[in-house]
Chain A
């Protein structure tokens, strides 16, 4: 009996132990001579190396400062807590109010929802203050669209974090070696030739030699096939997601910011509620009509021309078999697609020229780059191989010169926990946010991750330390406008939630069949873009 009781207690203790270690403080040893600041980080594609460096510099800068008057504490200890699902917006909605974490760097945040629930601290005072060592404030570094998004009744509760967009990545080395850049006057050439003007309309600009229009892109793919090059690839397992990125990117760029954002704001922003819709077709040519959008007629957005043109673009790729075979295979993960793209140059007779991916893809493919370097030497390493981000081509030449509109989907933000009450700690948290927004911190983030922050800043000499792809991303980000995926108010979002998902996610009904993945319908069901477009409706 006594042995049974002892064993029962022991078993119960063993079961409790993991809970203690799992839920205990993960930030390491606490230094009681310093003031702690708990920082949460969404540890996704960008990792946390940039935050570790930020922490080191901040702690060094403020090592002699006392943030708790009346105590002997001097200096700051930043305690970093990384997480993925636990640090994403939807999780934080339920846990933030009781979390000990004070400052967050994360994504997937429905900003207005969090503000409505008083989960964010008001940081209006710091966004207009000059940053440490600079003549600029945070507001000086963000664009009008971001200010519109973050300003709620003239107050700010969060600031942008990193850019997170997807699009077409191209193998610059392959383009150069096989002469795939568009030549001025027609034809194709290598990087040293006279390059044609790209979608930006800037002669010899950052996008020179890249397809400026849809037709340029199709002609290039055709040319590639003749050269036994596979034009484009994406993850087959996430066919819906990755071809969706391509569609949204084309759609947004075609429509422009104000027209595209009607999907999110339902025309509730004054002066920005008109758009054009397709009311019929004259052969293949859409017939357009102007319309004013409001909450009562949002379903008309199903007929925006950008949606049709994006479907036509994808249809052209599919019907001409310009995509890698495995891109229609559900076992092709995004990492496998990256590996196939990278290795194709060395291991196949038909190298892949382009890949649909996010701007963080090189971080995700780090292991693949390491393996390639060990197999093929330094020329195959991440820093040696050259890739570029291809701005979306325009539907026709009359659209050339309009800035690329990039559709940023991840809702990446920095904010302070609204449950903080200690004024000294609040002051510290605000100082940290300001420190993270200085040019030095922004540049450091880009040099360490290869990706850009959602701010206007000049890399200067640090450009030379970046990989070719990171430089390409920086140039594209600097020359583009951004559209964000979240509504101006949570109230509007909930009012349109019945409408938006169906038209946003390309739901269509053709006869009795419902489709939600255009690429799948094109590849396996021989559906064409026109029928797919005509079948998109809310009800």
Chain B
């Protein structure tokens, strides 16, 4: 049978399954290619004041974004909050899930309970968990403090001095389950014969962790560190779920600020926001590759 005939027969056999790909392909073309392409063009446009006409403005929008970062105090506050959120969440996600995963991997006492507690936030709808957390932080805890210790305490999600750290704690805790799952998966992939050999050589509990298990999971950790850099610009640490568009200035992150401007803005505002998105991409990509290079070059090898 000639190749053409074989190919034609293969297509005929699989045409039914190919037809299922048409819709997702169309969705991808529109939802990703077209929309992102349009956003790139939008970054170089401006609109007249009644938003009926657009025109090319070159790099003006990018200049406005940079000027905003320099002179707008709200953006300054948001940037500081975003960096703080990145550092804390990275520090936590690189440590706590690893230890918990190792504990569960070793099937130590109570490991099933830990699994449930840490996975639970990932299973429950984020809006429900936000509401529960808010009630615990604003009603239950102050009430308990007053009844048990006679200490008057403002709500963790009402007092602007406490909101950001409480949101950080919430967001980090919600993310632990996902990190745990990935770490556990990597640990379970460790070759049992290597572990047995190590145990025979007397490496012990922590030796097994440091010399066998951790190097196996190191790549997973580094992926989080590398990709996490971008979250400085995009993460809203669930502020929108808690406060909608009513968050106070002190707690906003860049991600929340950007979403807020998008939801409140009109067509006239979108070119600025499109330029913002492009500028962040241009900034994040080389930094991300640089981080990757450093970590792979100087980090521990398997």
Contact = CB atoms under 8 A, between A and B. Distances in A.
A525 B161 CA distance: 8
A241 B246 CA distance: 7
27 contacts: A5-B16, A113-B51, A113-B266, A116-B52, A117-B51, A236-B158, A238-B246, A329-B139, A330-B155, A330-B242, A331-B134, A331-B155, A492-B49, A493-B49, A494-B266, A494-B268, A495-B49, A497-B269, A507-B249, A513-B250, A514-B77, A516-B248, A520-B160, A521-B160, A524-B159, A524-B160, A524-B161
Interface string A4-45: 010010001000000000000000000000000000000000
A491 B134 contact: no
A240 interface: yes
A517 interface: yes
A490 interface: yes
Contact of B135 (A110, A117, A331, A489): A331
A497 B248 CA distance: 20
Contacts of A328: 154-155, 158
B142 to A, nearest CB: 9
Contacts of A490: 49-51
B256 interface: no
A27 B171 CA distance: 43
Given A329-B139, A490-B50, 18 more contacts: A12-B20, A112-B50, A113-B50, A116-B50, A330-B134, A330-B138, A330-B158, A330-B242, A331-B135, A331-B155, A491-B49, A493-B49, A494-B50, A494-B51, A507-B74, A514-B249, A524-B158, A524-B161
B58 interface: no
Contacts of A516: 248-249
B73 interface: yes
Interface string B248-261: 11100000000000
A417 to B, nearest CB: 18
B301 interface: no
A223 interface: no
A116 B49 CA distance: 10
B77 A331 contact: no
Nearest to B242: A330
Interface residues of B, number: 31
Interface of A: 5, 8, 12, 110, 112-113, 116-117, 236, 238-241, 328-331, 489-495, 497, 507, 509, 512-517, 520-521, 524-525, 539
Contacts of A507: 74, 249
B50 A497 contact: no
Contacts of B51: 113, 116-117, 490, 494
A494 B16 CA distance: 52
Residue from the set B49, B71, B161 with the largest chain A CB neighbour count within 10 Å: B49
B248 A240 contact: yes
Interface of B: 16, 20, 48-52, 71, 73-74, 77, 134-135, 138-139, 154-155, 157-161, 242-243, 246, 248-250, 266, 268-269
A167 to B, nearest CB: 20
6 nearest interchain CB pairs? A491-B49, A494-B49, A116-B50, A514-B249, A330-B158, A490-B50
Nearest to A502: B74
A110 B138 CA distance: 37
Residue of B71, B155, B161, B269 with most partner-chain A CB within 10 A? B155
A343 to B, nearest CB: 17
A493 B267 CA distance: 13
Contacts of B158: 236, 239, 328-330, 524
Contact of A515 (B154, B155, B249, B269): B249
A251 B71 CA distance: 29
A507 B20 CA distance: 52
B134 A8 contact: no
Contacts of B157: 330-331
Nearest to A117: B52
B121 to A, nearest CB: 19
Residue among B48, B50, B266 facing the most chain A CB atoms (10 A cut-off): B50
A491 B268 CA distance: 10
Contact of A539 (B16, B71, B134, B250): B71
B26 to A, nearest CB: 14
Nearest to A238: B246
A161 to B, nearest CB: 22
B160 A525 contact: yes
A513 B250 CA distance: 8
Contact of A491 (B50, B154, B242): B50
A236 B248 CA distance: 13
A8 B155 CA distance: 52
Contact of B155 (A329, A497, A517, A539): A329
Nearest to B80: A512
Contacts of A110: 266
A393 to B, nearest CB: 27
A514 B74 contact: yes
Contacts of A524: 154, 158-161
B264 to A, nearest CB: 8
A483 B249 CA distance: 28
A144 B138 CA distance: 47
B250 A515 contact: yes
Contacts of A238: 246
A525 B51 CA distance: 41
B289 to A, nearest CB: 34
A232 B249 CA distance: 26
Contacts of B139: 329, 331
Contacts of B74: 507, 514
Nearest to A115: B50
A336 B16 CA distance: 55
A256 B38 CA distance: 45
A117 B246 CA distance: 30
B51 to A, nearest CB: 7
Contacts of B246: 238-241, 517
A489 B49 CA distance: 9
A15 to B, nearest CB: 10
A514 B76 CA distance: 10
Contacts of A509: 73
A509 B242 CA distance: 24
A495 B266 CA distance: 13
A470 B243 CA distance: 32
A238 B246 CA distance: 7
B277 to A, nearest CB: 20
Nearest to B263: A90
A259 to B, nearest CB: 24
Contacts of B242: 330
B41 to A, nearest CB: 19
Nearest to B159: A524
Contacts of B155: 328-331
A514 B49 contact: no
